Structure 1
Amino acid sequence: MLSMTEEARESLFEDVTGSILFVIAQQSGRMLISQLRLPVRGELNATIDALSALYLLNISDSALGDLRVPVLRSVLAIARLPASERPKYFHHQNIDPKRVDRIVCLIVGSNPAFLTSLQEEHLIDEARTEACTRDFERTKAVWGQILSSHMRQENDQVRRIAVSYNKVPRGDEVLMGMLKEAKVLETAARKLDDFYRFPAPVIMRAAACGEETATFDPRTRDFLICYDLILRFARDHLEQMKR
């Protein structure tokens, strides 16, 4: 990556960041269900997807800028790959094009103006705008009521989510350095902490796992993002650039 142009670096960073934030959004949904003892409405995956979409809308107002379109673009690209070519994380979590489409619909429904930039790449169909808007309004109303008692109060200074980094594998320092310098994980964690009041501390940790995955353990409250998965996102992006 040292020989990449500045434009290519920015494209790589945006794409990898979008994919990471999608993963964090998914795992934060699992974390919220277990830590805040939230009800599961319908299927578990549908509940996780609704919470994921609300989180991605919340994080858009951050030091990283509005990341809704980059997140949707990067994840739609992954979802459209043949199943055998998607990262193992997507298999482990049963994330298929239908679930990605559900999240995209909720985010687009929150603001149909997102269609403008996404339509340039023919990623979504404008005809679905009205249905997505209704879905979002319904989801926002239902979860707004459920989550109201778990919202962080303005005068609450207690922080519950800490971020830590295990040793980065040799040879991968450049990409990880970019992500650490931009404080991607710190921003993601901060937004969760700003929005919700957690009953116990949580550690959001980046580490080498030997597997392309991310997990949240409700027993230890360990929110793990594997370097292996981050690097897979980077490799896939670079491979796409060659095509």
Structure 2
Amino acid sequence: MAIHAHVGCHEKVTWNPRLGRRRRIARQRAERIRRRRRDNRLSAAGPTDTGRVRWAELLAASLPGLAALLALLFTWIQVTQAGKELAISERGQITSRFNAAVSNLGAASADVRLGGIYALEQIMRDSAPDQPAVVSVLSAYARHNAPVRVEDARKAPVLPGDEPRPLSADLQAVMTVLGNRRPDRDRGVQIDLSRTALPGLELSGYPGLFPLRGVDLREADLRPCLRSAVSRC
């Protein structure tokens, strides 16, 4: 159905309803296409944005735990380093004590020598790894300060009525320290008292256990020991 209208003086315009309907359909179709394209862009960009947000959230949530882990690692490193420094310091102190005690063994004063002997005993108690060195030093001290002389070796055995001369205080202290040690810390080191003169050695402080068991006593002068504890020598 055509609609005629008069415009101006004598200009005639004809309106076609079918043409108007086609234009509306074309506009609607173009609008649907634009919406579809927009939706496609949003759907394509959506997961990426969501993934980025999730990564950001995960990173933000893990930051406190990561900081705590780094702090724990740093603390562990500090504790380990402090432990190493403490061990080095203690090792240095023991070395200084050991050197001072050995120096005292050569002093002219008997009291200073006794102090060195008992200082070595304390080192032996405080540091098990140093016991073999202490045992070797004290054994060498006894051999050096009480060697068996030729004239002593030729003497007749001590008779039951004879009283031996008491052992010097420092040598008796050496034997006491060696007798009171823990043999399980010797690490295979044997006490060497070969050719050592120890007459008058007091053994009464070790009931039931001879302190020189397992000691190298070859050619040593232990005549009182042979008299009082021959079954245990």
| Category of TM-score, reference length = shorter chain | under 0.3
TM-score, normalisation: structure 2? 0.24
> Relative contact order, CA 8 A, sep 6+: which one is greater?
1
TM-score, normalisation: structure 1? 0.23
Q: Which has the larger radius of gyration?
A: 2
